[in-house]
Every structure is written in structure tokens, then in C-alpha cells.
Amino acid sequence: MLQHLNQTAIKPQRVIIVGAGGFVGSTTLKNLQSKGIETVGVTRQSIDLLKPNAQHALAEYVQQGDALVMVSAIAPCKNSEQLIENLQMMQAVSNVIKDKAAMLSHVVYISSDAVYADDVALATEDSKVQPGSFHGMMHAARELMIKTAAGNIPLAILRPSILFGLADPHNGYGPNRFFRLANQGQKITLFGGGEEQRDNIFIDDVAEVIALALMHRSNGVLNVATGHSHSFKDVADLVVKTAGKAVTVEPTTRQNPVTHRHFDITACRQAFPAFVYTDIAVGLQKVQQQFSGQQ
């Protein structure tokens, strides 16, 4: 749960986004800039966190009073090699946070709900961290690393659920893959009958929650989820309807047990009572409009 050092929203002096070229980072950068917040975007082109000089290069960006958002990752993390690389990236950032502790006013880390056990049906911020995948292990370890590095610096750890948006680079199973297949006129193949229910969040909402955490200088852990889960079958049907294409949605023989993931978002409502998540149908319509505008 988050605790606010700023009870009312106050624009941070300056924000450094590490991973500003990625899906979440670039959307957050635009969101903060639209609010008139001075923002410095650090991309892989400017600093490769796997290079030996990464720590020194990043440290040179830090000025007195800066807030730092860490979102850079090799994701999804699929194997031990990528796990090690992700930890190496976080080590460079953690070292900078420790060395520049007197200058940094706030730190935000974008984690994932993958830190919870796969069979957690109703997730809260108090759910046990017990990842069952390399991706979840990566984020759990990085949470510990950045928490240790931050020390007394206010630290907000945000754990988003499944993200969807036009610029998503991963094409993961769910809204993003379904959207691309539908707009290409290709059939959508489900895992089993697509019975599993998941909470899908529009990328703009993630960026807004990050901005709210920065402006309130929040400290603690928060799940970033809408509180409404939908089956993959229902999401696929909604994507097809939104795309307006004659696309079939086909089931397959189930290979794995059905699991669901729901979120109790009481903590988010308490932290940001005026914020309302985008309904999945509205979010998909916005993505479709953005896609059509690029044609």
C-alpha cells in the first residue's frame, strides 16, 4: 500500500526515466511532459546498462532533487541468461541510487504482478511474493535490490497486470497479440477455450498511475490493475468486434490447468480516489483508432 509524502499533487522538480525508449517508459515520458514536468529520458542508445561504464554514465545525469523511474528491462525474462542480465542492469542503477542518495528525492520501480504465485486467484499488495517464472523471479529480485539501494529515499514499487496498447513490442498472448492478428485478418488461436480470466490494463493508465505516484511522492507497493478480469475468449471476441474484421476465434486442446487472476484494488482506490481506470472496451477502441490513424 502507498503512503503519500505529498498529500496534494505537486509536480516533481525533474524526473529521470531509465528505459524511456520502451513501451511503458515512452508512454510515461509523454504523460509527464504533457503535464509540464521536466523529464530526462534515458534509452538504451544513450546508456546501455549492460556496459561496464553504465553506472558512471547514469550518475552524470543525476541532479539535486531529481526523481528516478526505473523501467528498463529485458522483458519478458525467459531464461537464466536473461535473468542475470536483468540483475546486472539493476545493479548499475542501484549503485547510482546508493551513490546519489543525498540528491535523489524519490525512486519509482515498475515491477510486475508476475512476482505473485501463479495460483494466486485474488491478488492484493499483501499477497506473498512467490514467483513461478523467470520473469517473476527477475522482478522479485530487482525489487529487493532497489529497495536495499534506496534506503531512506521514498520508493514506490508498482506492479502492473497485463498491459495493452498499440506500441507493445512483445506480442504476448492476450489483447496485443489478438489485436495484431485481427487487424491482419488472421485467425486468433486460444489456449484451450480461453477460459482463463486476467486483468488487462490500458498503457495510458499505467503512465498516469506512475505520474500520480511521482506527484504524491509515494512510498510503498501498489498493484496497477483495473479490478475487472475478463476471459481471453471474451477479450478475443471484443478485439474482433472492435477491429471490424471477419476473423475467427478458435479453441485448441487444453494443455495446462485453468487459472484465474483477479485483483482487489482497494489500496489503489484509497491512494488515488479520483483516478478511474479505462474500461477494456474503451481502451481497445482507442488502440484501434490509433492504429487506423497510422494507415
Question: What CATH number did the domain enclosing 208 receive?
Answer: 3.40.50.720
Pick the closest to residue 277 from 243, 240, 230, 236 (CA basis): 230
Angle value at C-alpha 69, between 67 and 72, nearest 5 degrees:
150
Which residues have C-beta within 8 Å of that of residue 164, sequence separation ≥ 6? Answer: 174, 175, 176, 179, 200, 201, 202, 203, 283, 284, 287
Q: Is residue 113 one of the residues assigned to a domain?
A: yes
Q: What count of other Cβ atoms lies within 10 Å of the Cβ of residue 256?
A: 9
Q: Please report whether residue 188 resides in a domain.
A: no
94 falls within a domain: yes
Q: What b-and-e string marks burial along 31-47, b requiring 16 or more CB atoms within 10 Å of the CB?
A: bbeeeebebbbbbeeeb
In this prediction, residue 1 carries a pLDDT of: 83
Rg of the Cα atoms in the chain: 19
- What pTM value is reported for the model? 0.96
**Each residue's pLDDT tens digit, 152-204:** 999 999 999 999 999 998 888 999 999 999 999 999 999 999 999 999 999 99
* pLDDT recorded at residue 295: 57
What are residue 62's phi and psi, to 5 degrees?
-75, 130
Instruction: Specify the number of domains making up the chain.
Output: 1
C-alpha to C-alpha distance for 67 and 37, rounded to whole angstroms = 11
Q: What is the pLDDT of residue 169?
A: 87
- Distant-in-sequence, close-in-space partners of 249: CB < 8 Å, separation ≥ 6: 187, 188, 190, 194, 233, 236, 237, 240
| Domain limits for position 102 | 2-165+200-227+262-277
> How are beta strands 2-4 and 218-224 bridged, if at all?
antiparallel
Residue 90 belongs to some domain of the structure: yes
pLDDT of residue 130: 96
- Is 40 part of any domain? yes
Q: How far apart are CA 258 and CA 236, in angstroms?
A: 17
pLDDT for 47 equals: 97
Low-confidence ranges of the chain (pLDDT < 50): none
The answer to whether position 11 is within a domain reads yes
Which amino acid is located at 259 in the chain?
Answer: T
pLDDT for the residue 170 = 85
pLDDT for 155 equals 98
106-121 per-residue burial string, b: 16 or more CB within 10 A, e: under 16: bbbbbbbbbbbeeebe
Structural domain includes residue 246: no
Closest CA to 2 of 287, 220, 214: 220
